[in-house]
Amino acid sequence: MNRLKIIFAFFYDLLLLCALWFVATIPFLIWQGESFAQNPLMLLAFQIYLIAISYIYLTFFWMQNGQTPGLRTWKLQLQSEDGYLLTRHNSNLRFTLATLLFPIGWIGLLTPKKQLLQDILAKTKIVPIQP
């Protein structure tokens, strides 16, 4: 059952991230104009900008209380393997691995540990919490 909760929490957070990306795009469009997509350097800068927005959003919640809004909704928490909240190092490692391994990281849910591959490598885990 935890597998489904993790998937639903991911899609909930993805929906919120899409809304955040939409809002974050407005200042970039005002600054660069609509034709920024024709400039490869500006397109790369825009992609890095969106990744930075995602990084700030996710790592803030991971280090604050271990719960993004999606994890909180499904009563899950992201912890280090020893049961504590994530440090900056754990958060950076998990975000980097999740970015590099997407969507391969989801294969980890099929293993007996039922953990995402990035969680296994970053020594973190998603656990259910009691209300």
Q: In this predicted model, what pLDDT tens digit does every residue of 22-69 receive, in sequence order?
A: 999 998 888 887 777 788 888 898 999 999 999 999 999 999 999 999
Q: Tell me how many domains the chain contains.
A: 1
The proportion of the chain whose per-residue pLDDT surpasses 90, expressed as a percent, equals: 68
Mean pLDDT of the chain: 91
- Confirm if 68 and 9 have CB atoms less than 8 A apart: yes
This prediction has a pTM of 0.88
The boundaries of the domain holding residue 28 are: 2-128
The proportion of the chain whose per-residue pLDDT surpasses 70, expressed as a percent, equals: 99
Using CA atoms, how far apart are residues 97 and 119, in angstroms rounded to an integer?
A: 9
Long-range contacts of 104-113 (CB under 8 A, 24+ apart): 109/3, 109/6, 109/7
Query: What pLDDT sits at residue 10?
Result: 94
